[in-house]
Amino acid sequence: MKKLLALALGLVLVLNVAAWAEVVIAFSQIGQESDWRTANTDDLKSAIENHPGWKLVYDDAQQKQENQIKALRNFITQDVNYILFTGVVSTGWDEVLKEVNEAEIPLLLIDRMPDCADKIEYVAAFGGDFVEEGRRQVAWAGEYLKSIGMGDKDVNVVIMEGTTGASAQTGRTEGNLKALKDYPHLKLVGQQSGNFTRAEGQAVMESWLKSLDKIDVLIAQNDDMALGAIDAIKAAGKVPGKDIIIVGCDSVKAAFDAIVAGEMNCTVECTPLYSRFVVPTIEALEKGEKFSKTVVHPEEGVFDTNGGIDLGTVKSTKAADVISTRQY
Ligand code: GYE
C-alpha cells in the first residue's frame, strides 16, 4: 500500500513537472490568402506540435489587423513562453509589440516585418528579402527578352501588387520599380493590387485586358495572383506564357506545374518554410543562448522554362529539373 502511494505521488509529481516544463509557443498568423501562406502555416504548426515538450497556440487573423492585435493581447494574458509574429501590414504595431516587450515574452519576427522593428525588442527575425525579389522579377523579364533578341523592342508591362501596405508588397514594388529603370524598353502601363489572392488576380487581369491596348509582360507579386491572371488570359482567348510573359513570386507547386505546362514563364522564390530556423532558435533560447537583432534572409532561387538567365545575384534554374524536389 505504501509503495503504491509513493508510486502515485511520484506520478503526480512527474506529470506536474511535465506540465510546468511545457513550452508554449503562440503564433499570430495573417490568414489563408495564398498557397504560400498555407505552406507556411502547415510547416510551423507541424514542427511545433510534433516537438516534445512544446505546445502551439495558433491564431488565424483572417487578414484583419485588429484580430492580430487582439490575438497578441490574448497571448500576453495567457503568459505564453514565445510569440511568433508576422503582420498583415507593416504599420500600426508599435503599441501592442511594446506591450509584448513589457510582458517580457520573447518575440520572434517571421515573414513580413513591422516598420517599428528598430524601436522594439525581438530575439530573432527571419523573412524574405522582398526588395531583391521584386528586382529579380523585373530583371528576369528584361534579361529573358534580351536572350530571345527582343532586348531593344518596347514592351508593355503590368505590375500586379500584393496586399497594400504589407512589407511583401512595398518591398517588391520598390524592387520592381527600381529594376524597371535598368530596362528602359520595359514600359509600365498598369499597376494595381490583386491582394495576393487568385480570385483578385483574375479580376484585375480581366479588367486590364479590357482597358489596356496591349500587355506583353505581367509581373505578379505572388504566384496565386499569376495563376488567377492565367485563367483570365485564357478566358480572353489569349495564350498565357506566350502572348503574355508571366513572372510570379513564391515558387509554390502550382507555379512549377504552370511553368512546366508552358503557361507561366518564371517564379522568383520566397520560401515559406521557416520552421528550420524557428525550431533551433527556440531550442537555443531555451538553453540560454542569445541572438543578435538582425533579419535573416534564407537562400532562394529563380525558376523558369529553360534556366540559365543571369540576374547578377543568382542564375535561373530550369523548373522541370527540380520540380520533384520541391517541398511546397
Ligand atoms: O508572397 C504571398 C503571401 O508575406 C511573403 O504573403 C509573404 C507573401 C507571399 O500571401 O503569397
48-62: per-residue pLDDT in tens? Answer: 999 999 999 999 999
Q: Do 203 and 260 belong to one domain?
A: yes
Q: Do 137 and 82 belong to one domain?
A: no
* Mean pLDDT to the nearest integer, 75-82: 98
Express as a percent the part of the chain with pLDDT over 70: 94
Q: Do 180 and 201 belong to one domain?
A: yes
* Mean pLDDT to the nearest integer, 293-317: 95
Classified as helix, coil or strand, 122 is coil
How high does pLDDT run on average in the chain?
95
Q: Do 141 and 258 belong to one domain?
A: yes
Q: Do 42 and 58 belong to one domain?
A: yes
The answer to whether the beta carbons of residues 183 and 138 sit under 8 Å apart is yes
Asked if residue 15 has pLDDT above 70, the reply is: no
How many C-beta atoms surround the C-beta of residue 182 within 10 A? Answer: 12
Among the listed residues 289, 316, 320, the one whose alpha carbon sits nearest the alpha carbon of residue 301: 316
Cβ 33 under 6 angstroms from ligand 1? yes
* Mean pLDDT to the nearest integer, 97-116: 98
Domain extent for 217: 130-271+301-325
- CATH (domain of 98): 3.40.50.2300
Q: Do 82 and 19 belong to one domain?
A: yes
Which DSSP helix (H) or strand (E) runs through 9?
helix 2-21
Classified as helix, coil or strand, 202 is helix
* Mean pLDDT to the nearest integer, 57-72: 98
Please give the Cα distance from 29 to 36 (Å, whole number): 12
Q: Do 285 and 200 belong to one domain?
A: no
Cβ 36 under 6 angstroms from ligand 1? yes
Please give the Cα distance from 159 to 221 (Å, whole number): 8
Q: Which residues pair with 266 in a beta bridge?
A: 247, 304
Q: What are residue 136's phi and psi, to 5 degrees? A: -60, -35
Which DSSP helix (H) or strand (E) runs through 57?
strand 54-60
Per-residue model confidence (pLDDT) at position 294: 83
Among the listed residues 299, 298, 283, the one whose alpha carbon sits nearest the alpha carbon of residue 125: 298
Q: What is the DSSP string of 250-315?
A: E--HHHHHHHHTTS--EEEE-----HHHHHHHHHHHHTT----S-EEPPP--EEESS---B-SS-B
Q: Using one digit for the tens of pLDDT, what is the confidence trace for 117-132? A: 999 999 999 999 999 9
CA 271 to centroid of ligand 1, rounded, Å: 9
Cβ 270 under 6 angstroms from ligand 1? yes
Per-residue model confidence (pLDDT) at position 7: 60
Per-residue model confidence (pLDDT) at position 290: 85
The distance of Cα 119 from the centroid of its chain, to the nearest Å, equals 23
Per-residue model confidence (pLDDT) at position 209: 98
Cβ 196 under 6 angstroms from ligand 1? yes
CA 83 to centroid of ligand 1, rounded, Å: 20
Domain total in the chain: 2
Amino acid in position 218: L
CA 168 to centroid of ligand 1, rounded, Å: 6
CA 8 to centroid of ligand 1, rounded, Å: 51
Per-residue model confidence (pLDDT) at position 21: 78
Q: Which residues pair with 24 in a beta bridge?
A: 55
Instruction: Please identify, by atom number, the ligand 1 atom nearest to the C-alpha of residue 36.
Output: 11
Instruction: Please identify, by atom number, the ligand 1 atom nearest to the C-alpha of residue 272.
Output: 5
Which of the residue ranges 187-201, 202-216, 282-296 would you say has the lowest mean pLDDT? 282-296
* Mean pLDDT to the nearest integer, 73-84: 98
The answer to whether the beta carbons of residues 197 and 34 sit under 8 Å apart is yes
Q: Do 194 and 287 belong to one domain?
A: no
Classified as helix, coil or strand, 247 is strand
CA 211 to centroid of ligand 1, rounded, Å: 27
Which of the residue ranges 12-16, 140-144, 177-181, 188-192 would you say has the lowest mean pLDDT? 12-16
Per-residue model confidence (pLDDT) at position 301: 97
Asked if residue 201 has pLDDT above 80, the reply is: yes
Asked if residue 14 has pLDDT above 70, the reply is: no
Please give the Cα distance from 125 to 109 (Å, whole number): 4
Please give the Cα distance from 271 to 251 (Å, whole number): 8
CA 302 to centroid of ligand 1, rounded, Å: 16
CA 189 to centroid of ligand 1, rounded, Å: 24
Q: Do 175 and 260 belong to one domain?
A: yes
Asked if residue 16 has pLDDT above 60, the reply is: no
Cβ 252 under 6 angstroms from ligand 1? no
Per-residue model confidence (pLDDT) at position 246: 98
Q: Using one digit for the tens of pLDDT, what is the confidence trace for 219-260? A: 999 999 999 999 999 999 999 999 999 999 999 999 999 999
The answer to whether the beta carbons of residues 301 and 73 sit under 8 Å apart is no
User: Which of 29, 30, 36 for a ligand 1 pocket mutation test, highest count of atoms within 8 Å of Cβ?
Assistant: 36
In this predicted model, which residue has the larger pLDDT, 291 or 276? 276
Asked if residue 13 has pLDDT above 90, the reply is: no
Q: Do 106 and 207 belong to one domain?
A: no
* Mean pLDDT to the nearest integer, 298-323: 97
Q: Do 140 and 249 belong to one domain?
A: yes
Among the listed residues 242, 157, 245, the one whose alpha carbon sits nearest the alpha carbon of residue 208: 157
Longest dimension (CA), the chain: 92
Instruction: Please identify, by atom number, the ligand 1 atom nearest to the C-alpha of residue 250.
Output: 1
Q: Do 115 and 155 belong to one domain?
A: no
Per-residue model confidence (pLDDT) at position 92: 98
Please give the Cα distance from 313 to 33 (Å, whole number): 29
